[in-house]
Amino acid sequence: MGKMSVSSLPDATAADTLLRPSPARRITSATQVFEVLRAEIIALRLPPGTPLQDKALIARFQVSRTPVREALIRLAELGLVDVFPQSGTFVSRIPVSAIPEAVLIRKALEGITVEKATRAAAPNRMTAIDMAIGRQKVAALLHDVDAFHEADEAFHAAVADLAGHPGIWTLLTQVKAQVDRARRLTLPILGRMEQVLAEHAVIRDCIAAGDAEGAKAAMDGHVSAVIPDIEKLRGRSPDYFV
């Protein structure tokens, strides 16, 4: 092998560029950290008030400080963490005042998707909805709150897919983050999972029957059900709300 000439060696700037992680790698790492932390905050595995320390997150995810900071910024933009310059970063408390507006947005957008899904429905296109309900039934029997919530998400995503507007559900997953945290507190309550299942069954049957008006009314009632529980939840877990 011939010797490399001095002129062929990369200069300091070029060498730094070669050694620096690519933007795609860094963005992927930040997204991974964001998705994991978001899921844990919504599932209340990281309850309100939990400190999120850079060093601990860097060690946990085996990444540099930059993707951790980017992930925390995205979580702050969603209102899921609070950043206090002199104190640190903490999982935010659930803002009661933000929930009615989020529910209103969700009712409007899911009203559109369920009506469109009803017009598009056919027996061979109900599979994803039926599978989600089936998964929820199993999760309810096992009292598996995490699996129940995941199947709940799959049900609503399937309705949006059937409507031909999957992007609406993608948008709603951001809008409803605070509502989801409150809802996770309701699921362990005796009979709540069975109530959700019954509401989903009505929505499903209205879609299958081509009853757009009934489907929208059922969806409105289902999405609004969390609001009457808020004050009870706040009384039961005052440290979780603000």
CATH number for the domain spanning 56: value is 1.10.10.10
The two three-digit tokens of residue 70, written as one number: 């980017």
- The residue among 201, 206, 215 whose CA lies nearest residue 110 is 215
136 and 202 housed in the same domain: yes
Buried/exposed code over 219-238 (b: 16+ C-beta within 10 A; e: otherwise): bbebbebbeebbeebbeebe
With the C-alpha atoms ordered 230, 196, 136, 170, is the resulting torsion angle positive or negative?
A: negative
Reading the chain (242 residues) residue by residue, the pLDDT tens digits are: 444 343 333 343 443 333 344 444 444 789 999 999 999 999 999 999 999 999 999 999 999 999 999 999 999 999 999 999 888 999 999 999 888 899 999 999 999 999 999 998 887 889 999 999 999 999 999 999 999 999 999 999 999 999 999 999 999 998 999 999 998 988 888 899 999 999 999 999 999 999 999 999 999 999 988 776 787 888 888 889 99
Domain range for 143 is 96-240
The two three-digit tokens of residue 140, written as one number: 């309810």
User: Which of 40, 75, 91 is the endpoint of a domain?
Assistant: 91
2 within a domain of the structure (yes/no): no
- Domain tally, the chain: 2
202 and 236 housed in the same domain: yes
